[in-house]
Amino acid sequence: MSKANKKERIDKIISSRGIASRSEAKLLVKKGQVALNGAIVTDSSVKADENDLITIDGKAVSQERYVYIMLNKPVGVVSATDDKRYKTVVDIIPDEFKRRNLFPAGRLDKDTTGFCLITDDGDFAHNILSPSKHITKTYIATLDSLIDYEEGRRCFEEGVVLKDGTVLLSAKLSLLDTSDKPVYKVIIKEGKYHQIKRMFASLGAKVVALERVAMGGLALDEALNPGESRLITADELKSIVENDERF
Ligand code: URA
């Protein structure tokens, strides 16, 4: 059954989907590149709603107000929207996901890999990043040397005091592997600059590889190779907050 929605001008809908600015949207219409339910429109004041199919050059305009993308960030790419020297996480997502106001929700270092969430929804990003919300982030850290595991667990749980005096919130540490370089899982509830590296530095160890494997209750999709991305479903999005293992 179709929904009864408020109709809006077609140029407004196109710009609200992050495809073009309002004036660019008007131009697209004027040039005959926009169709409404299969018929070219040349007047931007024509109105449409969610039940209508809008296309630009034959490609459907998403009905979703915001987009949420899971990227498996590779090494060497920066968590930014633009950079003079390096490729950004926004540069490497496929064109079909691209919108004007995309940004990474939270920063990963250039040499950190894994789950990078890219969106154009500022309120959502604020909600999952705000330290007061305590949404967890899970990392796998490979170290150059073993640490005293019991001491590490206790320090992380009590809240590491960084060299600059910053007192961190309680974090969880578990040992995953010692067969080659020691590998640990760390769950933190905030996202300070170089946090994981500085936490291990406080125990005298250097992080040689770091991967984010989950944000709240949503794990990185193992089917995504480094550099690959996909859209996050509505249920997955909810699970970030709802399935988060609070501690
Ligand atoms: N902690 C770090 O040290 N680096 C990251 O990229 C993320 C968390």
Active-site positions? 109
- DSSP characters over 10-39: HHHHHHHTTSS-HHHHHHHHHTT-EEETTE
Q: Does 3 reside within a domain?
A: no
Both 147 and 174 in one domain: the answer is yes
Q: Does 1 reside within a domain?
A: no
Cβ burial of 186 (10 Å; 0-12, 13-18, 19+) is buried
Question: Is 197 close to ligand 1, i.e. is its CB under 6 Å away?
Answer: yes
Q: At 178, which CATH number? A: 3.30.70.1560
Q: Does 247 reside within a domain?
A: no
For the CA of 108, the nearest atom of ligand 1: 6
Question: Is 214 close to ligand 1, i.e. is its CB under 6 Å away?
Answer: no
Residue nearest to atom 4 of ligand 1 (CA): 194
Q: Does 191 reside within a domain?
A: yes
Domain boundary among 41, 60, 79: 60
Structural domain boundaries, residue 238: 68-131+221-242
Both 229 and 108 in one domain: the answer is yes
| pLDDT of 64 | 86
Amino acid residing at 106? G
Both 48 and 170 in one domain: the answer is no
Both 117 and 85 in one domain: the answer is yes
- Measured in Å, residue 76 CA sits from the centre of ligand 1 at 14
- Measured in Å, residue 98 CA sits from the centre of ligand 1 at 26
Both 29 and 73 in one domain: the answer is no
Residue 58 phi/psi, 5° resolution?
Answer: 85, -5
Question: Is 155 close to ligand 1, i.e. is its CB under 6 Å away?
Answer: no
Q: What average pLDDT does the chain have?
A: 94
Cα–Cα distance, 136 to 222 (Å, whole number): 19
Cα–Cα distance, 36 to 138 (Å, whole number): 44
Q: At 30, which CATH number? A: 3.10.290.10
Question: Is 138 close to ligand 1, i.e. is its CB under 6 Å away?
Answer: no
Question: Is 112 close to ligand 1, i.e. is its CB under 6 Å away?
Answer: yes
Q: Is residue 69 helix, strand or coil?
A: strand
Please, what sign has the CA dihedral across residues 131, 136, 141, 145?
Answer: positive
Domain count, the chain: 3
Both 153 and 170 in one domain: the answer is yes
Both 84 and 111 in one domain: the answer is yes
Q: Does 78 reside within a domain?
A: yes
For the CA of 197, the nearest atom of ligand 1: 3
Of 215, 9, 231, nearest in space to 98 by CA: 231
Helix axes 234-242, 122-129, angle to 10 degrees: 30
| pLDDT of 219 | 98
Both 73 and 93 in one domain: the answer is yes
Question: Is 108 close to ligand 1, i.e. is its CB under 6 Å away?
Answer: yes
What is the H or E stretch that residue 124 is in? Answer: helix 122-129
| pLDDT of 1 | 44
Q: Does 202 reside within a domain?
A: yes
Cα–Cα distance, 174 to 184 (Å, whole number): 6
Both 17 and 54 in one domain: the answer is yes
State which residues of the chain have pLDDT below 50.
1-2
In this prediction the pTM is: 0.89
Both 237 and 180 in one domain: the answer is no
Q: At 231, which CATH number? A: 3.30.70.580
State pLDDT tens for residues 213-243. Answer: 999 999 999 999 999 999 999 999 999 999 9
For the CA of 109, the nearest atom of ligand 1: 6
End-to-end CA distance of the chain: 43
Residue nearest to atom 7 of ligand 1 (CA): 108
Both 34 and 98 in one domain: the answer is no
Both 189 and 231 in one domain: the answer is no
| pLDDT of 63 | 80
Question: Is 87 close to ligand 1, i.e. is its CB under 6 Å away?
Answer: no
- Measured in Å, residue 196 CA sits from the centre of ligand 1 at 5
